[in-house]
């Protein structure tokens, strides 16, 4: 009774293909198997069985061996070339001993001697279902492990691409994404702008208030940058107190508007130190834009934005400068 309950639980969703050329035997076997399986498809010989195998998604095949048109062994041979895991039980008469020996090389999971004994049928199906159940559990476990590995890999990649202090993207990620965005802009004849941002007198903040306060300033600046950029923009901590923002499909005029919004927001931000003390910081920004075929790679854009940043520093800081060849509007 316990075995029957176990079979009922495990076989409820199983799809079975029964291949038998003798119609009376087919009906009798199907009736017996209906005690174990709800979904049974019938085939009349090996050729019919192979056709229906390709049309369905079966968990178990129960087949006679000696049949016209195509034998059970020939059908099994074709199926095993495509599927090594589907369970197969063969039905055989004592006179089919030679066929039975040949079936071993096709990795048959069980066999039932004709005329069929109900207890033998029960035991063979029980054993095969246990194998099927274990195989399914292993597949589920392997799939679960693959998902875990994929999730962990994504998390590690994301971690490797993030600056731990500000949680902005880091220079490693910049080196990858900047080349991709530049190549896309070049291919699609679009613009790509780059903001090079440097906090003014940051060393003085560290020297005066300590590195912990300096870290707070960097974290506060990162939040300001994220609040004042678009979803498509990529904000990066480039190193130290220097930040880079990639602005896809953005002209130099659009980049200047975003840069001024950022510069003004940083200037207005206040970091509370306690004891009613607070500090403010400012930033200098250099802008470069790819909008023609002059620049050959992202490095050219970095050099131009870096020169523009240097010009902003030389002009008194807390201002914006454009790459050479453009008139400053700040």
Catalytic residues: 241
Strand segments (E) across the chain: 15-19, 39-43, 60-64, 87-92, 110-113, 192-199, 234-239, 242-248, 271-274, 277-279, 283-290, 320-322
Contact assessment for residue 104 and residue 76, using Cβ atoms and an 8 Å cutoff: no
CA dihedral over 121, 123, 129, 135, signed as positive or negative:
negative
Burial class (CB within 10 angstroms; exposed 0-12, middle 13-18, buried 19+) of 171? middle
Cα 151 off chain centre by: 8
- Tokens 């002009």 locate to 315
**Secondary structure (3-state) at 289:** strand
Other Cβ atoms closer than 10 A to 60 = 25
Q: How far apart are CA 48 and CA 71, in angstroms?
A: 11
Q: How far apart are CA 246 and CA 300, in angstroms?
A: 14
Contact assessment for residue 92 and residue 100, using Cβ atoms and an 8 Å cutoff: yes
Strand segments (E) across 38-153: 39-43, 60-64, 87-92, 110-113
**Secondary structure (3-state) at 169:** strand
> CA distances (Å), 216 to each of 211, 213, 239, 243, 276, in order?
9, 5, 15, 15, 17
């Amino acid at each position: 009774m316990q075995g029957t309950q176990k079979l009922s639980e495990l076989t409820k969703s199983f799809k079975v293909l029964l291949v038998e050329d003798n119609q009376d035997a087919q009906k009798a076997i199907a009736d017996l198997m209906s005690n174990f399986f709800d979904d049974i498809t019938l085939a009349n010989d090996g050729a019919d069985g192979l056709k229906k195998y390709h049309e369905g998604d079966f968990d178990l095949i129960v087949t006679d061996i000696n049949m016209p048109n195509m034998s059970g062994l020939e059908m099994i041979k074709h199926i095993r070339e495509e599927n090594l895991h589907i369970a197969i039980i063969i039905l055989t008469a004592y006179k089919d001993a030679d066929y039975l020996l040949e079936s071993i090389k096709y990795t048959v999971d069980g066999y039932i001697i004709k005329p069929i004994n109900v207890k033998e049928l029960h035991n063979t199906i029980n054993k095969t279902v246990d194998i099927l159940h274990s195989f399914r559990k292993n597949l589920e476990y392997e799939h679960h492990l693959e998902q875990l590995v994929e999730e962990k890999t994504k998390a590690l990649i994301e971690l490797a691409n993030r600056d731990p202090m500000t949680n902005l993207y880091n220079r490693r990620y910049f080196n990858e994404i900047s080349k991709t965005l530049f190549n896309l802009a070049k291919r699609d004849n679009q613009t790509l702008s780059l903001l090079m941002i440097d906090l003014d007198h940051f060393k003085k903040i560290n020297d005066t208030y300590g590195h912990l306060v300096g870290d707070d300033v960097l974290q506060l600046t990162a939040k300001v940058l994220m609040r004042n950029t678009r979803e498509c923009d990529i904000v990066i901590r480039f190193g130290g107190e220097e930040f880079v923002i990639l602005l896809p499909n953005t002209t130099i005029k659009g980049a200047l508007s975003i840069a001024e919004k950022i510069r003004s927001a940083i200037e207005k931000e206040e970091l509370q130190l306690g004891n009613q003390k607070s500090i403010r910081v400012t930033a200098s920004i250099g802008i470069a834009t790819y909008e023609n075929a002059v620049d050959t790679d992202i490095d050219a854009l970095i050099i131009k934005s870096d020169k523009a940043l240097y010009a902003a520093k030389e002009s008194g800081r807390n201002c914006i400068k454009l790459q050479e060849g453009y008139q400053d509007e700040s």
